[in-house]
Structures are given as C-alpha cells and as structure tokens.
C-alpha cells in the first residue's frame, strides 16, 4: 500500500539555491520504502512562469518518486502538513556586504513566515534555515513560532564544515590519509567569526590515529580558518552571486544526517543556552553527533577546548548576541 507522502516545503524555491536543490530532494535518503515526496514551492509571484518550467523538469526527472509538486502562495494553510521546511528565501549578500548586513532586509520576512507556519505546524515539523544571517534568522523564526520545538529548528553551518573539510583534505600532509580523517569541529556564527577547530582532528597513519596538529603547522591551520571565513565572499566575487550547488549539497548533507544519523561528528546550527560559562541563548554552530530520527547531541566538553579556540568562540557568541539585539531593535522600530 502507498504510504502517506513526505511533504517538503521550500521557500525561495526559484532562487539561486532553490532551483538546484529541488532536484536533490527526491534523492534524499530519508524516505521510507514506498514513500513518495510531495514538493511545495514558495517564491515571489514574478517567478511563476520560471517555477512552472521547474515543475515540468522535476516531473520528467522523477516520474515515480514525487507524488505531487505544487506552486503555492505563502499562507498558514499552504504550509499545513509540512514535514520538512527548508527556508532559502531572503535578500542575498552582495559584494562588500557581511551576512549580518542582511538583518534589516530579512528580519520582517522571517517573523511573517514564522507566524504563518506556527499556526498549522505539525508537532514534529523540522525547519532548516539557510537564508542569511542564518543563525539570527533562526532566532527570529523561533521567537515567533512557539509551537515548533527549538530543537527542531536548525541553521545551516554545514557549508563551513564542508569547506574546512575540503581544505584540510587537500593539505599535502593530510591528503594521503584523508579517507580516515575525522574530528573536525565548527563553532559559532556562519560569518567571518566562525571557528574551525582541529584540536580533536586525526587521521589513521600505519594503523595509528595521529592528531592533525602533529602533521600540519598551526599557521596552516589558522590559514584554513581564514579561508573558510572568506570563502562565501570569494564565490560571490567569482560568480557574481552567492554559492549555489555547494550550498545545495550542504543542505542535502545536513538533512541526511539529521534524519538518518552520521558515524562522524558534523556541524549543526542549533540553539544553545550557555557555553563555557557564557550565556549564549542563540543559534550557533556546534559539533554534534547525529543518531537519526532527529536525535542529536553536542560532542564537546568546554573544559577540553583549547584556550585560544575558546576565546574565538566567545567572540563569535558575542557577535551572535549583538545580531540578536539588532534584529529585535529592527522589529521594534518597525512596530512589528
Ligand atoms: C555562503 O557561505 O556561501 C553563503 O552563506 C552565502 C554568502 O553570503 O556567503
């Protein structure tokens, strides 16, 4: 017997990431046997014709895996029944901007969407926030969607994780052993303050686990962190728009691990109350173990984080707290 479809709603579905991501969703490893996916596409009215074209292509690409594809207007009713909501819509970053410069442009949108989704949300709805600044957007969304458990709202930090993984995997001293690499940890904001921590990273060399810090100089590791921090802007400079395919891949990785689990520590932007004695109360990137079915737990002991890394994490948390204050002030000034 055919199972009830798994409903995935995507906001910003006609955009830079959306038009690529839609073709990855039916291939996700999260559906049950005999379960098909229902896609709901949300974007601006001006994108209607483009979205109609996308629907035709999706139908041709996935004749049996998709039960239905609908182009819809944003409303509480149209989000009803959603199992997974992927939020891509928002003004993107342009050359010379920091992600936090988008708070003013995107804060009202996230509040409006939250109020809508909250009204009809299934108790186990999961929300992945990608539009920037993703951690602060997650805070705004959650504040206005109290029916959705905070633990079911994630921000995408997987891009930073994948970027750092790519850099370290190609480092000449790690490259020969990179298939056994593990232990990369990402902390903090998806911004220029993101912290890339290799203190627990290791590779298998001649059957023995060797810390990456013994193979790679501290200068090279710091350089990787700097490159990860700049990578998004480097892509914008090159393409004239922000990351598309790599962002879609990071979303796929995040979702697969969230639902199916992962044997390795990965990075998730999640709510955290307090870290190393600092009151956080924000969404931030943390190293986590994913056990499947949404069950995740953080994988670090603050007392084991090296002092210098901890200092950087504190800086990133302060930045997130400032972004949160700016977002709240924006809403207040607009009377929202
Ligand atoms: C990225 O990291 O590529 C995205 O967050 C887009 C951006 O503004 O950099």
What is the CA(21)–ligand 1 centre distance, in A? 15
By C-alpha distance, which of 118, 119, 120 is closest to 149?
118
Please give the pLDDT value at position 335: 87
Residue 294 clears pLDDT 90, i.e. is over it: no
Q: Which of 99, 131, 227 to mutate to test the pocket of ligand 1 (most atoms within 8 A of CB)?
A: 99
Residue 1 clears pLDDT 80, i.e. is over it: no
Token pair recorded at residue 258: 């969230």
> 190, 237, 254, 291: which is the annotated catalytic residue?
190
Residue 10 clears pLDDT 80, i.e. is over it: yes
Tell me the pLDDT band of 280, cut-offs 50, 70 and 90.
confident
What is the CA(301)–ligand 1 centre distance, in A? 29
Structure confidence by residue, pLDDT tens digits, 235-255: 999 999 999 999 999 999 999
Please give the pLDDT value at position 243: 97
Residue 69 clears pLDDT 90, i.e. is over it: yes
Count of beta carbons in the 10 Å neighbourhood of residue 130? 29
Please give the pLDDT value at position 336: 82
% of the chain surpassing 90 pLDDT: 93
Ligand 1 pocket by Cβ (under 6 Å): 93, 99, 132, 159, 232, 235, 242-243, 247
* Exposure letters 146-163 (e unless 16+ CB within 10 A, then b): eebbbebbbbbbbbbbbb
What is the CA(94)–ligand 1 centre distance, in A? 10
% of the chain surpassing 70 pLDDT: 100
Residue 119 clears pLDDT 80, i.e. is over it: yes
Minimal-distance CA residue to ligand 1 atom 7: 232
What is the C-alpha to C-alpha distance for residues 242 and 124, in angstroms, rounded to an integer?
31
pTM attached to this predicted model: 0.97
Minimal-distance CA residue to ligand 1 atom 3: 232
Q: Which of 86-90, 237-241, 252-256, 296-300 has the lowest mean pLDDT?
A: 296-300
Tell me 200's DSSP state: T
Pairing of strands 202-205, 185-187: unpaired
DSSP 226-290: HHHHHHHHHHHHHHSS---HHHHHHHHHHHHHHHH--SS-EEEEEEEEEETTEEEEEEEEEEEEE
Run of H or E including 68:
strand 66-72
What is the CA(242)–ligand 1 centre distance, in A? 6
Residue 68 clears pLDDT 90, i.e. is over it: yes
Report the half-sphere exposure of 29 (CA within 13 A, side-chain side): 12
Minimal-distance CA residue to ligand 1 atom 1: 232
Give the mean model confidence (pLDDT) for residues 303-317: 94
What is the C-alpha to C-alpha distance for residues 104 and 101, in angstroms, rounded to an integer?
7
What is the CA(333)–ligand 1 centre distance, in A? 27
Residue 2 clears pLDDT 80, i.e. is over it: no
Minimal-distance CA residue to ligand 1 atom 8: 93
Maximal C-alpha separation, the chain: 63
Give the mean model confidence (pLDDT) for residues 142-158: 98
Minimal-distance CA residue to ligand 1 atom 9: 232
Please give the pLDDT value at position 279: 87
What is the C-alpha to C-alpha distance for residues 295 and 278, in angstroms, rounded to an integer?
25
Please give the pLDDT value at position 12: 98
Structure confidence by residue, pLDDT tens digits, 261-278: 999 999 999 999 998 788
Give the mean model confidence (pLDDT) for residues 61-87: 97
- 277 or 91, which is more confident: 91
Structure confidence by residue, pLDDT tens digits, 320-335: 999 999 999 999 998 8
Minimal-distance CA residue to ligand 1 atom 4: 232
**Atom of ligand 1 at shortest range from CA of 159:** 2
Give the mean model confidence (pLDDT) for residues 4-30: 97
Token pair recorded at residue 205: 């060399």
**Atom of ligand 1 at shortest range from CA of 243:** 3
Residue 254 appears among annotated catalytic residues: no
**Atom of ligand 1 at shortest range from CA of 156:** 5
List the beta bridge partners of residue 197: 185
Give the mean model confidence (pLDDT) for residues 299-319: 93
Residue 293 clears pLDDT 90, i.e. is over it: no
Structure confidence by residue, pLDDT tens digits, 49-67: 999 999 999 999 999 999 9
What is the CA(307)–ligand 1 centre distance, in A? 28
């Amino acid at each position: 017997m055919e199972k009830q479809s798994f409903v995935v709603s995507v906001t910003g579905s006609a955009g830079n990431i959306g038009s690529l991501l839609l073709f990855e969703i039916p291939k996700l490893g999260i559906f049950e046997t005999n379960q098909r996916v229902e896609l709901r596409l949300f974007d601006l009215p001006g994108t209607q014709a483009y979205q109609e074209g996308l629907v035709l292509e999706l139908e041709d690409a996935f004749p049996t895996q998709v039960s239905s594809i609908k182009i819809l207007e944003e409303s509480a009713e149209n989000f009803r029944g959603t199992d997974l909501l992927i939020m891509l819509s928002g003004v993107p970053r342009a050359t010379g901007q920091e992600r936090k410069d988008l708070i003013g442009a995107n804060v009202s949108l996230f509040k409006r969407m939250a109020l809508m989704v909250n009204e009809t949300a299934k108790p186990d709805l999961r929300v992945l926030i990608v539009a920037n600044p993703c951690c602060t957007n997650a805070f705004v969304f959650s504040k206005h969607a109290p029916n959705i458990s905070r633990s079911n709202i994630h921000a995408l930090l997987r891009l930073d994780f994948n970027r750092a993984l790519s850099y370290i995997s190609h480092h000449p001293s790690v490259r020969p052993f990179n298939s056994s690499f593990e232990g990369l940890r990402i902390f903090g904001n998806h911004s220029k303050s993101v912290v890339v921590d290799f203190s627990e990273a290791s590779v298998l060399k001649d059957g023995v686990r060797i810390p990456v810090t013994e193979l790679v100089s501290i200068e090279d590791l710091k350089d990787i962190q700097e490159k990860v921090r700049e990578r998004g802007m480097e892509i914008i400079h090159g393409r004239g728009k922000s990351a598309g395919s790599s962002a879609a891949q990071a979303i796929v990785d995040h979702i697969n691990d969230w639902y199916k689990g992962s044997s390795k520590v990965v990075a998730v932007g999640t709510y955290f109350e307090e870290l190393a004695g600092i009151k956080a109360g924000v969404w931030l990137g943390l190293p986590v173990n994913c056990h499947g079915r949404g069950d995740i737990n953080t994988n670090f002991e603050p007392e084991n984080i090296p002092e210098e890394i901890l200092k950087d994490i504190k800086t990133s948390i302060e930045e997130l707290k400032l972004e949160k204050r700016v977002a709240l002030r924006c809403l207040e000034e607009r009377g929202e």
